[in-house]
Amino acid sequence: MHTFKTLSAALALALAGTAFAKKPQPPPRPMGNEASFQESFSPTEVTIKATGVGVEPEDAEADIPRVAIQFVLFRWSDKLVTTDDETQSAQRVLDDIYSHPQKYVTWTADHVTSTRRLPDGTYEVTRMIRIDKGALNDFLVSKGVLSSTSDLAAGAGNPVLMVLPDVPKGKSPLDVLGTNPLAQQTAGAIESYLTNRQYEVVSPRGQDALGSETQMIGNIKGSDDDQAYQIALATGADVYITYAGDVSPVAEGRKASLVVKAYETSTARLLGTETGYSQTRPNTTDQVLVEEATNDAIEKVLQQVQNYWKTDAVRGVQYKVVVKFNGNFTPERKQDLSDALDDLMDKQFPEHKVNISSDKTEDYIVWAPRDKFSGTSAISRVFRQKLEAPGVKVRELLKNRKLLMIELVEG
């Protein structure tokens, strides 16, 4: 009987211990939602002003890196995770990220910006913090959430980029590059940054026949005398980047600012614009200040270019196709050719857009299926196969990796 009582007591204590044992804590998630971008400290680091929330001030402090990481991943205008598929895939690795947020923190301000108690008794603490965006990106790539630059190249291909100074319309950016040492140095800094990130950069300087090709492109109605756009099309760049800036005296020294813009070459559509700033320095050359401003601006613009490229690549490979009618075609023959061209576009390039439609010119943006068209040569071949007929020949005027210009002639 004594043994039975002893066992009963032990069992009761065990059950009591189970009842009062700590339940497993769910993986941490950000409690706060307030964060804002402050600066690009380096090509891979961004400074964020983040507000953590917690039951006690120290809990709110611990929440700050998670809030900042959440902002960089999902809420920033240049967020790392951009598509629905990436967002869904990211959910399976958030436990790891938020459980060890300090892995992605490179600096924290010595003093908090503010602390306040909320009406519900919890606390908000705001502090400046620096997040290693590059390390976050590498982790997401390693887990298959994001595609690496090399993966993009193997699939859609990396965008080919071109860099030119921003000049008033009607002026030549190549003339500025040839005469302004600071413009040359800035272009070199941007090109070096891009090549270090494994992007292909095409330079318009010294390319044979560039002048005649840009003139031909300039004759297309609607080019608006934008020479940077014309040069980008002539060189076959997917995206062109322009820059403009200056070095100004300020209190305690001098400071450089640089505005960097990225455009889609086929349409001259603005993809992103950012302004970068150097530190204020009393005794530093213009070149050093401009390079600091360049590093501040280019990373933000490049993220916008990457986001655009990933989204657009789903539609196919984008090309600009210009078809010119050159001959004394009768109205009936001209209508037959226009109908055949419309049928070709609808069947071969379901994703396309008409930029210009006139009596002499049809100007398109097409998204070519990657499995059917390896480049502009394949596109040109289809036009010859589908449009050439007795009395009609297809002749190439200009062809590069981004642009195809053909004309329909009597023959």
Digitized pLDDT (tens) for each residue of the chain, 411 residues in all: 454 454 455 545 454 454 444 555 666 899 999 999 988 787 788 899 999 999 999 999 999 999 999 999 999 878 899 888 899 999 999 999 999 999 999 999 999 999 999 999 999 999 999 999 989 999 999 999 987 655 555 555 678 899 999 998 778 898 898 899 889 989 998 998 888 877 889 888 755 445 556 665 666 544 456 788 888 888 888 899 999 988 898 888 999 999 999 999 888 889 989 898 888 888 888 888 988 888 888 877 888 888 888 778 778 888 999 999 887 888 888 888 899 999 999 999 999 999 888 888 899 999 998 888 988 999 999 999 999 888 889 999 888 888 899 999 887
Whether 287 and 204 share a structural domain? yes
In angstroms, the CA 116 to CA 5 distance is 56
Whether 341 and 388 share a structural domain? yes
pLDDT at residue number 70? 97
Domain end, chosen from 142, 169, 194, is at 142
**Structure pTM?**
0.68
pLDDT at residue number 152? 56
Nearest to 166 by CA among 262, 248, 236: 262
Domain end, chosen from 264, 298, 313, is at 313
Whether 166 and 307 share a structural domain? yes
Whether 167 and 306 share a structural domain? yes
Nearest to 260 by CA among 227, 287, 294, 233: 294
Asked whether residue 5 is domain-assigned, the answer is no
Whether 176 and 67 share a structural domain? no
Asked whether residue 11 is domain-assigned, the answer is no
Task: Tally the domains of the chain.
Answer: 3
Asked whether residue 245 is domain-assigned, the answer is yes
Of all helices (H) and strands (E), which one includes residue 94? helix 94-99
Asked whether residue 19 is domain-assigned, the answer is no
In angstroms, the CA 71 to CA 390 distance is 62
Tell me the residue range of the domain where 391 lies.
317-410
SS3 238: coil
pLDDT at residue number 164? 93
Whether 301 and 225 share a structural domain? yes
In angstroms, the CA 29 to CA 94 distance is 8
DSSP 8-state class, residue 24: P
Contacts of 23 (CB under 8 A, 6+ apart): none
Scan for tokens 């986001």, then name that residue: 307
pLDDT digits (tens, 9 = 90+) for 121-176: 999 999 999 999 989 999 999 999 987 655 555 555 678 899 999 998 778 898 89
Whether 323 and 269 share a structural domain? no
pLDDT at residue number 15? 47
CATH number at residue 254: 3.40.50
Asked whether residue 341 is domain-assigned, the answer is yes
Structure tokens at 407: 């004309």
Asked whether residue 21 is domain-assigned, the answer is no
Asked whether residue 202 is domain-assigned, the answer is yes
Whether 46 and 94 share a structural domain? yes
pLDDT at residue number 343? 93
In angstroms, the CA 397 to CA 374 distance is 19
Whether 114 and 198 share a structural domain? no
Whether 212 and 261 share a structural domain? yes
Whether 371 and 271 share a structural domain? no
Whether 292 and 177 share a structural domain? yes
Domain end, chosen from 264, 294, 313, is at 313
Asked whether residue 6 is domain-assigned, the answer is no
pLDDT at residue number 265? 87
